Structure 1
């Protein structure tokens, strides 16, 4: 196989976005692909790497999406391609439940080393984030012999039936797809920007409310698991106010409840630490990972305390493709790249550049109500009025569209559809990062 020449790390617009070839492919897609599968931007990719996506028309777009926090090491990282290619040539599949292989074990060993806590840990590998969360619930129920699962306002955990029940937002994730799995209870989260008594009070007050609701409405003795994203992703890149996570984690420990950190979007150097829960010293019982784990190959994991992980009976966990050998090779290449390039430090640098530029924009544009996030997981919340904080989803959509037209891939999120989120690859070049921020600033000027 001849290696392709490196993808030039520069924006290039040869046609309007989307171009004619993308439009032709979009017509074919509309005829062949289910309408329920959406796309942020109907630009068809031909190549991607570093901080660039090249489309079939030859346009090169700056990537501030990373395939939703997946291609943190880039979309064609050398170590990922090298290791996955070698594995592809050796064998593509045996099913670990039939005849196992070393790659799966190596990934489990790496996860035991990297995840928070120095206790004995074990892992089980799956295909997607939703599968990981679903299996974390199974494991917690097997361990505690309880059924109730507690989740939080604005949380997102997946699109399977159980994980839709765990997810807060109706549209587009849940609408029309019920009934959902039972024994799921939702409690407040410390959303500092929107907390009624102010961000400084959000941590202790939200924790007290959540614990009170669990105690009175569910009964702590009935809870198998408390599941939370240490930085809430689809809900709007909400960092729970300080003190909230430690209080909820302590409540779980005091009551024999399995505390699950859903690090699917926030894990693997994305926030400037291997895992976002490390920011307040949280050591979860179980941690779910996916997205950034394997450089773009489908892989997910549940990692946790050995005695909890071993609670499920033999044969109770698994799946035909779980821990696919090519995906495991990709994960080992991704982790190698993260260590070699110190992508935690790189994420922190991206944060400092982005927050400085966005703060300067906020001084000029009243529509920016809040700037938040950590590492290369940064967002701005857009409002019609800074006093009332009324969400402004129309401005958010218009800004995203303006960025797309200029060749910058950005994503939106948030319970109210009013958050512009930025997830650049951690390997993005400084010039592309700043050029992307220039485009965002131009978008504010035009919108």
Structure 2
């Protein structure tokens, strides 16, 4: 079917809240390229929102999934477990930098992982409250909607949010929130809203994802660790978007040397197959009773096979080295654009988790979300998938596969530069 025919079906049958604004339909893909239903080629700088760090349809992942399909598709691991689940738990426990011996539970999505992380923290501490941060994004389920540090569009139409969630500032000096002010805000939240004796966990992204690709200073993360230690609070780090090589290390928290109590991950964990994980210190992970964690499809055999293949690819193809090389290339190009264009500012990256802002001027720093929207639309018309993000909607973020070929990367960056010029940036 053509794009036009599929668009008509979508309009008639897909709920408006679940529909994409894109009128092109993916037909097939390879590494960093997608072809739509009409045969048009697009370069993918979105990676399914950070899901495809090793590219679309990596051959080793495809082969692993096909081999698993010939053996077993589903039992529900709580009814009858299987090798893939426990082997993946073993691999994760060996690389995730939580304190002490790690244990694992698998789920289906990032939001589901965050929900379970909070459940575990409550069981482990006997306390109820959670403190999150402005700009944070943790999912679209009810509790994770409440945890999000941005109301629209995630909370707007859905009535009162669950309680026991409180918020503190995230350090973004470019927009006037220093590390000192963020820490002061956190301590005030603990005095005014969520005292330590009621706070089960502090939850944060080491690099804001939807909130704008702002890395937390290592010193800030170390202070969060200290506050948690001093007050019997668990530190939960959300690595759903920043994990699996996106920042040049397996997990972004490794840049700080901080060991959290619990970590959540998903997205690039299985190169497109739906799976997530909660990994934490054994005593916390074991705090809740039998059958308190899980679900019908959690840690499915096919998704586990894909995730195990991802681990092999990281080792065999030196993915972290490639990630750092990509980050260096993006840093150099963004630096050029910041000098070249009046409205491009605050270029930043942690490895290839890279972004820059569009502002009225470098002195005012006034966000220009309309310019970001114009550039993403121009890019789409030229065959490039590009995403904006941020509390102000003025950040362009880059999530191309780490495995992108050099010539495809240069072609895509050339399109971005052309769009900046045409849009009057």
Normalised TM-score (structure 1):
0.92
Q: How much does 1:216 deviate?
A: 4.0
CA contact (8 A) 2:45 2:398 kept: yes
1:352 to 313, 328, 343: 328
CA contact (8 A) 1:40 1:411 kept: no
Quick one: distance in 1 between partners of 2:311 and 2:46?
20
Quick one: distance in 1 between partners of 2:98 and 2:202?
18
- For 1:73, the equivalent position in structure 2 comes to 54
Moved more, 221-230 or 337-346: 337-346
- For 1:35, the equivalent position in structure 2 comes to 16
Q: How much does 1:209 deviate?
A: 2.8
Confirm whether residue 168 of structure 1 aligns to residue 149 of structure 2. Answer: yes
Q: How much does 1:205 deviate?
A: 3.4
Q: What is the DSSP-based 3-state SS (H/G/I as helix, E as strand, rest coil) of the residue aligned with 1:36?
A: helix
Moved more, 32-41 or 186-195: 32-41
Kindly provide the CA deviation profile for residues 366-412 of structure 1, in whole angstroms up to 9, marking residues without a partner as x: 11121112122111111112222111010000000111111111111
How does 1:6-21 map onto structure 2 within 5 Å? Answer: 21=2
Quick one: distance in 2 between partners of 1:21 and 1:189?
45
- For 1:189, the equivalent position in structure 2 comes to 170
2:4 to 17, 20, 23: 23
- For 1:271, the equivalent position in structure 2 comes to 247
Quick one: distance in 2 between partners of 1:249 and 1:215?
18
Quick one: distance in 1 between partners of 2:17 and 2:181?
39
How does 1:206-285 map onto structure 2 within 5 Å? Answer: 206-285=182-261
Quick one: distance in 2 between partners of 1:37 and 1:212?
38
- For 2:301, the equivalent position in structure 1 comes to 325
Confirm whether residue 386 of structure 1 aligns to residue 359 of structure 2. Answer: no
Q: Where do 4+ consecutive residues of structure 1 move more than 3 Å?
A: none
Kindly provide the CA deviation profile for residues 127-185 of structure 1, in whole angstroms up to 9, marking residues without a partner as x: 00000000000000000000010000100000000000000111111101121110000
Kindly provide the CA deviation profile for residues 333-392 of structure 1, in whole angstroms up to 9, marking residues without a partner as x: 111111211111111111111111111111121111211121221111111122221110
Quick one: distance in 2 between partners of 1:122 and 1:62?
38
Confirm whether residue 426 of structure 1 aligns to residue 402 of structure 2. Answer: yes
CA contact (8 A) 2:99 2:280 kept: no
Confirm whether residue 91 of structure 1 aligns to residue 72 of structure 2. Answer: yes
Q: How much does 1:41 deviate?
A: 2.8
Aligned-pair RMSD on alpha carbons?
1.3
CA contact (8 A) 1:41 1:404 kept: no
Quick one: distance in 2 between partners of 1:394 and 1:319?
42
Confirm whether residue 404 of structure 1 aligns to residue 380 of structure 2. Answer: yes
CA contact (8 A) 2:327 2:352 kept: yes
1:297 to 246, 267, 273: 273
Confirm whether residue 62 of structure 1 aligns to residue 55 of structure 2. Answer: no
Quick one: distance in 2 between partners of 1:42 and 1:312?
46
- For 1:49, the equivalent position in structure 2 comes to 30
Normalised TM-score (structure 2):
0.97
Kindly provide the CA deviation profile for residues 22-67 of structure 1, in whole angstroms up to 9, marking residues without a partner as x: 1221111111111111325322111112111111222211110110
CA contact (8 A) 1:192 1:241 kept: no
2:129 to 129, 148, 167: 148
Quick one: distance in 1 between partners of 2:48 and 2:23?
14
Moved more, 40-49 or 346-355: 40-49
Q: How much does 1:275 deviate?
A: 0.2
2:285 to 295, 309, 319: 309
Task: In structure 2, list runs of 5 or more residues that go unmatched.
Answer: none
Q: What is the DSSP-based 3-state SS (H/G/I as helix, E as strand, rest coil) of the residue aligned with 2:247?
A: coil
Quick one: distance in 2 between partners of 1:369 and 1:40?
27
Kindly provide the CA deviation profile for residues 173-200 of structure 1, in whole angstroms up to 9, marking residues without a partner as x: 110112111000000111121125xxxx
Quick one: distance in 2 between partners of 1:32 and 1:128?
24
Q: How much does 1:445 deviate?
A: 0.8
Moved more, 53-62 or 143-152: 53-62
Aligned length: 423
Quick one: distance in 1 between partners of 2:357 and 2:125?
39
Moved more, 238-247 or 431-440: 238-247
